[in-house]
Amino acid sequence: MAASNLLTQLDAIDQNDLVYVERDLNFAQKVGLCFLLYGDDHSDATYILQKLLPMTRSEFPQSDLLLQYAKSRPETWKRRLVEALCIIGARQVLRRLGLRWQELRVHYLPHIGGITLHVHPLLKSLYRICEQLSLAQSGRLVLDVGEKVARQQAGDPLRFYDPSYLEIFLLDWLTRGCIRLGDINATGSDVQLLIEHLKFNDLQEHAKLLIDTINSNAPDESQVVVDPPLTIKREVQSDSQPAAAYSQRRKNALELSRENAGIALIINQREFHQKVSEDLTKYLSLNRLRDRVGTDIDKGRLTEVFSSMGYKVEAHNDVDHLGIVQLIRSACDRSVLLDSLVVCILSHGFEEAVYGANSIALRITDIENVLCSYENLYNKPKFLIIQACQEEAPNKGERNEQALPFKLNVTTQSPGQHVNMVRAMSTVNGFAALRHTHNGSWFIQCLCDAIVQHSDSEHIADILTIVTNDVAEKRGKNDESMVPKFNSTFRQHVYLPPRQ
């Protein structure tokens, strides 16, 4: 599209079109667009923040923000609006305005950070960061920077808590002067709070985007911002975890942090009963389940090891089948700002099932689906550790097909929801899981040993391979043996948090 043709197309846009443009945008797009249009002026940022906050609480938010924007800038609104629509990727809206995406893409370069024609370059870079951060990363930024802002500034705090609309928090920080954009060349800008947070949380590319945006828009060499090399702060390691071991970790891996490691939920079934309502009797185990003597040793060891890595351990004893589901769902709900989730179930079981304390079994696949069905856990490492026998299922022909697992009504919508999920089982299907009444189970004790000895240098998959080898080499008094197994959908190597 030639420049003259583009100007002709832009001139053809009428203010009356903006009502329909705004209706075609979803709320997330509207927030991003308003951030790009209003964010570079203090009074404008204050105005749009006051408009957006009530809309976040409305089920069907309606507004005329674009029309008001056009009326306040009769000479410049068209070019800036079209560029902002390009940045947020509103292709359908642009087509309805009679514009062609491919030609606009070449003209405005929306895919290249820090380069703009009309929108403030730092607003574009900040918007790109908002789009690229995960929900957990956004939540961590809100907590960290928000805490620093609260210490620096007086006045009423922002009464908004949804990190999925990160631009709203940025608008608040802009109005408070805690971050500054400077002029259209980013001269006089100050986004150091954000840069420091991004560096510290291993988001070097995002920090570099902000630095490069300031440097590349500086009008001459004398005004270029010189930033020190990007570094990542590491915790001081104890003698048992030398720094040299951490240098051996593979590149492009996911390293979980101590500060936000997550919840380690331990469900420890020692004693079992069959006191259930009549409608649940068909799910009861065929035989009365024995006490699992020695399981408390496993619970204590898991608590010690995961606590040492910064996990918040929540251990529960003798939980019925629905209580298990409730505890897992609660942990999922509370993991939005955390790096990972660990669920350990220590119980009796049979092939692809594990028992609640009320002698009713759950399908292990259903438990996995619960973990993978939560949006705030998408792409986060999820660990399901099962210590339970996996012998063949009870004879379903007896007692009117009793002892079937209780079926949970839970599904996932796409294979992608199962990314970054690992299931570690104490035994392969068809066999018993061995447990010592004084020393705990072979599998759990070997798992804890391997984490303590190797987590400083080995990723999760390699640690589980070590566990499989260690357990497979064990022999009982009567030559008993056992082989654990694990299934993983990790997309990259995942390292556990540093231990104390």
Q: What is the pLDDT of residues 304-318, one digit of tens each?
A: 999 999 999 999 999
* Parent domain of 348: 253-495
Structure tokens at 299: 């619970």
Predicted pLDDT at 395: 59
- Could you count the other beta carbons within 10 Å of the beta carbon of residue 244? 10
Helix 166-175 × helix 42-56 angle, to 10°: 140
Is there a single domain that holds both residue 185 and residue 260?
Answer: no
What is the C-alpha separation between 178 and 142, in angstroms, rounded? 13
Asked whether residue 306 is domain-assigned, the answer is yes
Indicate whether 225 pLDDT > 60.
Answer: no
Average pLDDT score, the chain: 86
Is there a single domain that holds both residue 193 and residue 297?
Answer: no
| Residues 383/338, Cβ–Cβ less than 8 Å | no
Asked whether residue 247 is domain-assigned, the answer is no
Is there a single domain that holds both residue 263 and residue 197?
Answer: no
Asked whether residue 267 is domain-assigned, the answer is yes
Predicted pLDDT at 226: 42
What is the C-alpha separation between 445 and 438, in angstroms, rounded? 12
Indicate whether 236 pLDDT > 70.
Answer: no
What is the C-alpha separation between 205 and 302, in angstroms, rounded? 36
Mean pLDDT of 62-91: 89
Predicted pLDDT at 389: 95
Predicted pLDDT at 153: 66
Active site members? 348, 389
| Residues 400/394, Cβ–Cβ less than 8 Å | no
Is there a single domain that holds both residue 260 and residue 169?
Answer: no
Residue with tokens 């924007």: 69
Predicted pLDDT at 248: 63
Predicted pLDDT at 82: 92
Is there a single domain that holds both residue 407 and residue 467?
Answer: yes
Is there a single domain that holds both residue 48 and residue 121?
Answer: yes
Asked whether residue 245 is domain-assigned, the answer is no
Report the CATH number at residue 375. Answer: 3.40.50.1460
Q: Using 50, 70 and 90 to split pLDDT, how confident is the model at 241? A: very low
What percent of the chain has pLDDT above 90?
50
Residue with tokens 């897992």: 328
Asked whether residue 230 is domain-assigned, the answer is no
Is there a single domain that holds both residue 211 and residue 274?
Answer: no
DSSP-derived pairing of the beta strands 262-268 and 353-355: unpaired
Indicate whether 399 pLDDT > 80.
Answer: no
Is there a single domain that holds both residue 343 and residue 476?
Answer: yes
Q: Compute the Cα dihedral for 193, 194, 196, 201 and give only its sign.
A: positive
Is there a single domain that holds both residue 158 and residue 260?
Answer: no
Domain boundary among 177, 207, 223: 223
Mean pLDDT of 113-137: 92
pLDDT (tens digit, 9 = 90+) per residue, 454-487? 999 999 999 999 999 999 999 988 888 999 999 9
Is there a single domain that holds both residue 213 and residue 263?
Answer: no
Spatial neighbors of 210 by CB under 8 A, at least 6 apart, are 122, 125, 126, 129, 191, 194, 195, 198
Within 181-309, residue ranges assigned H as helices are 192-200, 204-217, 243-247, 295-308
Indicate whether 207 pLDDT > 50.
Answer: yes
Asked whether residue 434 is domain-assigned, the answer is yes
What is the C-alpha separation between 260 and 85, in angstroms, rounded? 35
Asked whether residue 169 is domain-assigned, the answer is yes
Indicate whether 7 pLDDT > 90.
Answer: no
Residue of higher predicted confidence among 263 and 60: 263
Q: What is the DSSP string of 63-81?
A: --HHHHHHHH-TTTHHHHH
Q: Using 50, 70 and 90 to split pLDDT, how confident is the model at 232? A: very low
**Number of structural domains the chain divides into:** 2
Is there a single domain that holds both residue 449 and residue 318?
Answer: yes
Domain boundary among 205, 223, 241: 223
Is there a single domain that holds both residue 207 and residue 264?
Answer: no
DSSP-derived pairing of the beta strands 361-363 and 382-387: unpaired
Asked whether residue 463 is domain-assigned, the answer is yes
Predicted pLDDT at 228: 41
